[in-house]
Structure 1
C-alpha cells in the first residue's frame, strides 16, 4: 500500500468530509507502514485524523478529508 492508494481508500469510505475505515493488516510491519502513511498524509494537510485504533487483525481509522485546491 502506498499514499495514493490509502488516500483513495479513505475517499471511497467517506461521507462528505468524514471517513471511517478498517484496513486489514498481516504483520506488525503492515501496522507501522499504515501509521507512517497516515502521518505523511496529515503532515501534507490532506487529512485530519481523529482516531487510530490498533485492532487484532486491522487498523481502524476515523477522521476528516481536507479538500484543497492545488
Structure 2
C-alpha cells in the first residue's frame, strides 16, 4: 500500500464524506508509515483527520474526506 492506495481505501470506507476504517499492520513501523501518509494527505487538503488510534494489530482512522475542485 502507498499514499494513493490509502486514499482509495478511505474513499471506499466513506459514507458521504465521513470515513471510518481500520487498516491492518504487521509491525510498528507500518503504523508510523500510515500516520506519515495520513499527515501528508492532511497537508495536501484531501482529508481532515478526527481520530487516529494505534491498536495492537491495526490503525483506526476516522475523519472527513475533502472534495477538491479541479
Instruction: Report the TM range for the smaller structure's normalisation.
Output: over 0.9
Distance 1:69 1:3 in 2: 20
For 1:35-50, list aligned pairs within 5 A.
Answer: 35-50=35-50
Scaled by the length of structure 1, the TM-score of the pair is: 0.97
Scaled by the length of structure 2, the TM-score of the pair is: 0.97
RMSD: 0.5
Distance 1:50 1:44 in 2: 16
Unmatched segments (≥5 aa) in structure 2: none
How many residues end up aligned between the 2 structures? 70
Residue of structure 1 in register with 2:59 after alignment: 59
